[in-house]
Amino acid sequence: MPATRDELNAFLDYLETPVANAPTGPLAGQTLGVKDIFDVAGYPTGCGNPEYPTARFAAVETAPSVQKILDAGARFVGKTQTEELAFSLMGQNVHFEHPVNPKAPDRVTGGSSSGSAAAVSGGLCDIATASDTGGSVRGPASFCGLIGLRATHGRIPLTGTMKLAPSLDVFGWFAKDAAAYGHVADVFFGEASAAEKSFRPLTLSALDELVLGPDEAAEYARMTDRVANVLGAPTKARPFSQSIDDLYWIFRRIQAYEAWAVHGDFVSSVTNMDPAVRARFEFGRDMGCSVAVDETKTRNAFRDEMENLLGDDGVLVLPTMPGAAPFARSTGDELQQYRERALRLLCLSGLSGLPQITVPLGTVHAAPFGISLLGPRNSDRSLVRLASRILGDA
């Protein structure tokens, strides 16, 4: 029996307005939830803060990414919760009752696509849109037992979507199973080629070592073996020129600089804001343009290094998150420690602009734990197909 909306706090209580969808198409019969940073005609775009300007009026047009799903036949059933201005990773927005993780109710859903992950994982809808700047598709997917693709940067347009850090922002989605996920991928990327792409798996010790403890390491090793059953034994890659810690800070500075440029005026004027979210924005407030330029140069060098490592057939296998979702009762300091560790895993796809998919292959401490595959530019559809193959093998 599917959970109800009240049980999961996944959907927002907006006045229902009809939203047209195509009567036929590859997604006909599927229900759609939309993260509340995407415009839907007739609905506010609340962006997780009741005082945000677009929360005060209804959008006139639907975001093209959402419209594409509607035009494929999916039926809109409501807007889902998001973290405040999409700038968090745990799914606990101070302005709303927190979404419940259906697969581990005592743990967080992850964010910022918290409501979408809860809704799909809990069976409230078949598909839900998401976004990923720092990990807001991959994190909730890993925590809630879902497939989650961070698409190649810029491949799916973000018109009609709240910006956070434009050089990092990408569109994403969740779906009830691998088949449904593939149908949505077909809508955005075209149908998968009949000839399956052959991938060359790689691992990096510095990433594998970021799991939380021995239980997580053992389960991650089991998941890696499952991937090897499909792809073959992975090869150890040489370390990057920049350390993982250095890459984390490059990501943090670029994200904060861009986020302040986009939202600084609002953050400076609003009083009703989570102090932790405000602090993330203010980290970029006094960051000079010269710092952003220098970090971007280093980022570009890393992107070239990553693309050279992968070529056109490499996939980097890595833990999606350090372990299962943190407990919902965790302190702010505990959540922040987890967040910083997680971002060291999540930042590679954002900095490189390359696609990464998390596969719900594991369980640790009775909660979901995903494994990721980071692939070459524009390999999105092949990664979705590969995730389905791995799940079928498991």
Active site members: 35, 112, 136
Look up residue 369 and give its two tokens: 């734990």
Q: What is the dihedral of CA 188, 189, 191, 194, to 10 degrees?
A: -160
Residue reference for tokens 């497939």: 147
For β-strands 170-175 and 127-132, DSSP reports them as antiparallel
